[in-house]
Amino acid sequence: MSALALQQHATLAHLDWLESEAIHILREVAGQCSNPALLFSGGKDSLVLLRLAEKAFRPGRFPFPLLNIDTGHNYTEVIDFRDLRACQLNERLIVRSVEDSMRRGTVVLKSSGESRNKHQSVTLLEAIEEFGFDCCIGGARRDEEKARAKERIFSFRDEFGQWDPKNQRPELWDLFNARVHKGENIRAFPISNWTELDVWQYIERERLALPSIYFAHRREVIRRNGLLQPVTELTPARAGDVVEELTVRFRTVGDITCTAPVESDADTVASIIEETATTTITERGETRLDDQTSEASMEQRKKEGYF
């Protein structure tokens, strides 16, 4: 808040404006919903959400638990960080796992190697039902993807968790409508209007700690379809693969099987900001194996209950 000038009719600098809008959205969730949850993965966007929740609700406790849908295919650095952060904040963390859904038979993989990313929707909907959540707060941004660019900040989902892009609730001014009938719910996106660069600038300004894999490190990778596939137990090298050890960092952190790192020497937030400002490839385009399948893949997943 140091940017506040003391002259008449001062206005907020852009990061202060975005922060203030996000706090307003979080408080509207708290004011309007009876049983919300905040989706927290340990990734950078959800870490920004946690800082915004601190700004919105301290010195009180958060008026919602943190909820993580664990695919079982996450980097341990991120999972450890998730647990550490929840503990530091002294807030309740609920973890529900895709593997439990697989055991129940509600998630059936086409093959054992299939990405579990899209199956998170099933586990999420099961958790929503188990706890009776009427709203899930998520860290999705409109600049990430074309379908997201059209989604409301308070996005209505029917009893099946489905998003109907052609029949969205009108959303005017900052008058959000979180009313639902039992079984339906709202997905609220406080950082809808942020870009990847805004997120990094905020991380720098707030001096937020992040899981180590966001920063440059040495890693064994295989070049596949123009992306770098990390060599892990889940994604081992196949016969004929050329394994290289490169200096890389992750721009997004998701399921191991569908998140690719990028070649980078950026080992500080400042150098990542510099790279983000000068990159020629979008965040999801460079790193997400699951968005390349078709022009409409995110839209399809959202219709099925994805974040």
Partner 1 sequence: MSAIEHLPGIDNGLLRFLTCGSVDDGKSTLIGRLLYDTKTILADTLHAIARTSERRGLEAVDLSLLTDGLSAEREQGITIDVAYRYFTTGRRKYIIADAPGHEQYTRNMVTAASTANLAIILIDARKGLLTQTRRHSYLAHLVGIPHIVVAINKMDLVDYDQTTFDRIRGEYREFAATLGIGDVSFIPLSALNGDMLVDRGERLAWYSGPTLLDILENAPTAHSERDERFRFPVQYVCRPQKSGDPKLHDYRGFMGRVESGEIAVGDEVLVLPSEQRSRIKAIEIHGSSLPRAIAEQSVTLLLEDEVDVSRGDMIVRAQELTLVTRRIEAMLCWLGDTPLDPQRKYLIRQTTRETKAIIEAIDYRLDINTLQQLPAERLGMNDIARATFKLAQPLCVDAYRENRSTGAFIVIDESSNNTVGAGMIL
Q: How far is the CB of 242 from partner 1 (least distance, A)?
A: 24
Least distance from partner 1 to the Cβ atom of residue 144, Å: 11
Which residue, 58 or 103, has its beta carbon nearer to partner 1? 58
Of 70 and 151, CB closest to partner 1: 151
Which residues lie closer than 8 Å to 91 by C-beta, 6 or more apart?
61, 62, 65, 66
**Minimum CB distance to partner 1, residue 293 (Å):** 13
Dist. CA 227–CA 236, nearest whole Å: 15
Cβ neighbours of residue 244 closer than 8 Å, sequence gap 6 or more: 220, 221, 222, 223
User: Which lies closer to partner 1 via its Cβ, residue 54 or residue 83?
Assistant: 54
Q: How far is the CB of 279 from partner 1 (least distance, A)?
A: 7
Which 3 state secondary structure label does DSSP give 255?
Answer: coil
Q: Which residues fall within 8 angstroms of residue 303, CB to CB, at 6 or more apart? A: 162, 163, 164, 165
CB 156 within 8 A of CB 169: yes
- Nearer Cβ to partner 1 (10/84): 10
CB of 206 to partner 1, least distance (A): 10
Kindly write down the DSSP assignment for every residue of 63-123, as one continuous string. Answer: SS-EEEEE-S-S-HHHHHHHHHHHHHHT--EEEEEHHHHHHHTSS--SSTTS--TTTHHHH
**Nearer to partner 1 by C-beta: 92 or 104?**
92
Q: Contact positions toward partner 1, by CB under 8 A?
A: 1, 3-4, 8-21, 23-24, 27-28, 30-31, 54-61, 63, 142-143, 146-147, 149-150, 165-166, 168-175, 177, 179-181, 192-193, 195, 197-198, 273-274, 277-282, 285-286, 295-296, 299
Q: Which is nearer to partner 1, 109 or 270 (CB)?
A: 270
Q: Least distance in Å: CB of 292 to partner 1?
A: 10
CA distances from 158 to 134, 135, 155, 171 (A): 11, 12, 10, 17
The per-type count for the chain, helices as H runs and strands as E runs, is: 9, 10
Q: What is the distance between the terminal CA atoms of the chain, rounded to a whole angstrom?
A: 31
DSSP string, 154-184: EEEE-TT----GGGPPP-BTTB------TT-
Name the residue nearer to partner 1 (CB basis): 59 or 240: 59
Q: How far is the CB of 297 from partner 1 (least distance, A)?
A: 10
